[in-house]
A and B are shown apart, each in its own frame.
Chain A
Amino acid sequence: MELRDLIGSIEFPKMALIIPELIVLLTGFLIFTLDLIFKRANYRLYTWISVVGYFMAMLYIAFNPSLSGSTFYGLYVRDYFSSFLQFFMILLTIFVLAFTYHYYKQKLSLYREFYYILSFALVSAMFLASSYNLITLYVALEGVSISFYILTALLRGDFNAKEGAFKYLILGGLSIALASYGAVFMYIYAGSLDLQKILTYSGQNKDLLILGLVFFLIGFAIKIGAVPFHFWLPDAYQGAPTPITAYMASVGKLAFFAPVVRIMPLVQEHFAYAWVITVGIISAMTMLYGNLVALVQKDVKRLLAYSSIAHSGYILAGIAVAKAIGLKAVLYFLVAYALMGAGSFLLLALLERNPQWENRMEEFSGLRFSMPWIAVSFMIFMFSLLGVPPSVGFVGKALVFTALSFDRLWWLAFVMILSTGISTGYYVRLVVLTFMKESSKSIKVESSLAEKVVIFVLTLSVVILGAVPIIIWSFASQSADILFKR
Chain B
Amino acid sequence: MEKLGAQFPLISISMLIPTLGSFFVVLLPERFTKGISLISTGITFLISLYSLTLFDFSKGDVVQFYEHYPIIPELGISLSLGLDGLSMLMYLLTTLVSLVAVLWSVRDKQINHRIKEYFLWFLLTESFLIGVFASWDLIVFYVFYELTLVPMLFVIGIWGYKLRLYSAYKFFIYIFISSLFLLLGTVSLAVQHYKLFGRFSFSYFDLMNNDYPLGLGIFLFMLFFIAFAVKTPIVPFHTWLPDAHGEAPTAGSIVLAAILLKMGTYALFRFNIGLFPKVVAFLMPILVLWGIFSIMMASWFTISQKNLKRFVAYSSISHMGFVVTSMFLLNLEGFRASIMEMFAHGLTSASLFMIAGFIYNRLHSFNMDALKGSAKFMPLFAIITVITAYSSMGLPGGSSFWGKFLTVLSAREYTTQLALLVIAGAFFSVIYMLYLMKVLFLDTKEESRLVHFADIRGFKLSAFLLLVIPMFMVGLLPSLFFNIFDMSVKKLLLYVMHKLIGG
Q: Which of B72, B149, B181, B190 contacts A417 (CB 8 A)?
A: B181
Q: Given A388-B150, A389-B146, A470-B71, is A432 in contact with B169 using a C-beta cutoff of 8 Å?
A: yes
Cα distance A383–B184 when bound, in Å? 19
The reply to whether B173 and A421 form a contact with Cβ atoms under 8 Å apart is yes
The reply to whether B177 and A424 form a contact with Cβ atoms under 8 Å apart is yes
Cα distance A421–B174 when bound, in Å? 9
Number of A-B pairs, beta carbon distance below 8 Å? 79
Interface assignment of A456: CB less than 8 Å from any CB of chain B: no
The reply to whether B173 and A402 form a contact with Cβ atoms under 8 Å apart is no
Determine the chain B residues whose CB is within 8 A of the CB of A469 once the complex forms. Answer: 71-72
Q: Which of B149, B184, B187 contacts A388 (CB 8 A)?
A: B149
The reply to whether B158 and A424 form a contact with Cβ atoms under 8 Å apart is no
Interface assignment of B57: CB less than 8 Å from any CB of chain A: no
With an 8 Å Cβ cutoff, the count of chain A residues facing the other chain is 31
Chain A contact surface mostly: helix
Interface assignment of A405: CB less than 8 Å from any CB of chain B: yes
Interface assignment of A104: CB less than 8 Å from any CB of chain B: no
Cα distance A401–B179 when bound, in Å? 13
The reply to whether B74 and A425 form a contact with Cβ atoms under 8 Å apart is no
Of B75, B146, B154, B190, most A-chain CB atoms within 10 Å: B75
Of B139, B187, B219, most A-chain CB atoms within 10 Å: B187
Q: Given A405-B191, A436-B157, A473-B72, is A417 in contact with B184 using a C-beta cutoff of 8 Å?
A: yes
Determine the chain B residues whose CB is within 8 A of the CB of A386 once the complex forms. Answer: 176
Q: Given A417-B180, A417-B184, is A428 in contact with B143 using a C-beta cutoff of 8 Å?
A: no
The reply to whether B165 and A432 form a contact with Cβ atoms under 8 Å apart is yes
1/0 contact trace for A382-397 toward B, CB 8 Å?
Answer: 0100101110001001
* B149-195 contacts to A (CB < 8 Å): 149-150, 153-154, 157-158, 164-165, 168-169, 172-173, 176-177, 180-181, 183-184, 187-188, 190-191, 194
Query: CB-nearest residue of chain B relative to A400?
Result: B187
Interface assignment of A457: CB less than 8 Å from any CB of chain B: no
The reply to whether B143 and A401 form a contact with Cβ atoms under 8 Å apart is no
Interface assignment of B24: CB less than 8 Å from any CB of chain A: no
The reply to whether A468 and B181 form a contact with Cβ atoms under 8 Å apart is no
13 A-B pairs whose Cβ atoms sit less than 8 Å apart in the complex: A386-B176, A388-B147, A388-B176, A390-B143, A401-B183, A402-B187, A402-B190, A421-B177, A468-B71, A469-B71, A470-B71, A470-B72, A477-B74
Q: Given A398-B139, A401-B183, A436-B158, is A424 in contact with B172 using a C-beta cutoff of 8 Å?
A: yes
1/0 contact trace for B4-27 toward A, CB 8 Å?
Answer: 000000000000000000000000
The reply to whether B153 and A428 form a contact with Cβ atoms under 8 Å apart is yes
The reply to whether A389 and B72 form a contact with Cβ atoms under 8 Å apart is no
Cα distance A425–B191 when bound, in Å? 30
Determine the chain B residues whose CB is within 8 A of the CB of A425 once the complex forms. Answer: 173
The reply to whether A421 and B158 form a contact with Cβ atoms under 8 Å apart is no
Determine the chain A residues whose CB is within 8 A of the CB of B139 once the complex forms. Answer: 398
The reply to whether A436 and B191 form a contact with Cβ atoms under 8 Å apart is no
Q: How far is the CB of A131 from chain B (nearest CB, A)?
A: 29
Determine the chain A residues whose CB is within 8 A of the CB of B212 once the complex forms. Answer: none
* B210-227 contacts to A (CB < 8 Å): 219
Interface assignment of A286: CB less than 8 Å from any CB of chain B: no
Q: Given A388-B150, A473-B72, is A432 in contact with B168 using a C-beta cutoff of 8 Å?
A: yes
* A427-449 contacts to B (CB < 8 Å): 428-429, 431-432, 435-437
Q: How far is the CB of A422 from chain B (nearest CB, A)?
A: 9
Q: Which of A398, A410, A435 contacts B183 (CB 8 A)?
A: A398
Cα distance A406–B193 when bound, in Å? 11
Interface assignment of A413: CB less than 8 Å from any CB of chain B: yes
Interface assignment of B142: CB less than 8 Å from any CB of chain A: yes
* B258-296 contacts to A (CB < 8 Å): none
Interface assignment of A420: CB less than 8 Å from any CB of chain B: yes
The reply to whether B187 and A428 form a contact with Cβ atoms under 8 Å apart is no
Of B72, B74, B150, B158, most A-chain CB atoms within 10 Å: B72
A sample of 6 more A-B contacts (CB under 8 A), given A383-B150, A388-B149, A468-B71, is A394-B143, A428-B153, A436-B154, A469-B71, A473-B72, A477-B74
Of B74, B158, B176, most A-chain CB atoms within 10 Å: B176
Query: CB-nearest residue of chain A relative to B194?
Result: A406
The reply to whether A428 and B184 form a contact with Cβ atoms under 8 Å apart is no
Determine the chain B residues whose CB is within 8 A of the CB of A388 once the complex forms. Answer: 146-147, 149-150, 176
Chain B contact surface mostly: helix
Cα distance A220–B188 when bound, in Å? 31
The reply to whether B169 and A428 form a contact with Cβ atoms under 8 Å apart is yes
Q: How far is the CB of A305 from chain B (nearest CB, A)?
A: 23
The reply to whether B176 and A424 form a contact with Cβ atoms under 8 Å apart is yes
Q: How far is the CB of B232 from chain A (nearest CB, A)?
A: 19
Query: CB-nearest residue of chain A relative to B139?
Result: A398
The reply to whether A405 and B176 form a contact with Cβ atoms under 8 Å apart is no
Cα distance A398–B150 when bound, in Å? 19
The reply to whether A405 and B188 form a contact with Cβ atoms under 8 Å apart is yes
Q: Which of B72, B158, B172, B180 contacts A428 (CB 8 A)?
A: B172
* B57-71 contacts to A (CB < 8 Å): 71
Query: CB-nearest residue of chain A relative to B189?
Result: A405
Determine the chain A residues whose CB is within 8 A of the CB of B158 once the complex forms. Answer: 435-436
Q: Given A405-B191, A432-B165, is A424 in contact with B173 using a C-beta cutoff of 8 Å?
A: yes
Determine the chain B residues whose CB is within 8 A of the CB of A401 once the complex forms. Answer: 183-184, 187
Q: How far is the CB of A478 from chain B (nearest CB, A)?
A: 10
* A400-422 contacts to B (CB < 8 Å): 401-402, 405-406, 410, 413, 417, 420-421
Determine the chain A residues whose CB is within 8 A of the CB of B74 once the complex forms. Answer: 473, 477
The reply to whether B147 and A389 form a contact with Cβ atoms under 8 Å apart is yes
Query: CB-nearest residue of chain B relative to A431?
Result: B153
The reply to whether B176 and A421 form a contact with Cβ atoms under 8 Å apart is yes
Determine the chain B residues whose CB is within 8 A of the CB of A428 once the complex forms. Answer: 153, 169, 172-173
Query: CB-nearest residue of chain B relative to A437?
Result: B165
Cα distance A394–B142 when bound, in Å? 11
Q: How far is the CB of B34 from chain A (nearest CB, A)?
A: 21
Cα distance A474–B317 when bound, in Å? 45
* A36-71 contacts to B (CB < 8 Å): none
Q: Given A388-B149, A388-B150, A421-B173, is A436 in contact with B168 using a C-beta cutoff of 8 Å?
A: yes
Query: CB-nearest residue of chain A relative to B164?
Result: A436
Cα distance A405–B202 when bound, in Å? 14
The reply to whether A435 and B157 form a contact with Cβ atoms under 8 Å apart is yes
Determine the chain A residues whose CB is within 8 A of the CB of B176 once the complex forms. Answer: 386, 388, 421, 424
The reply to whether A421 and B180 form a contact with Cβ atoms under 8 Å apart is yes
Q: Given A389-B147, A428-B172, A436-B165, is A420 in contact with B180 using a C-beta cutoff of 8 Å?
A: yes
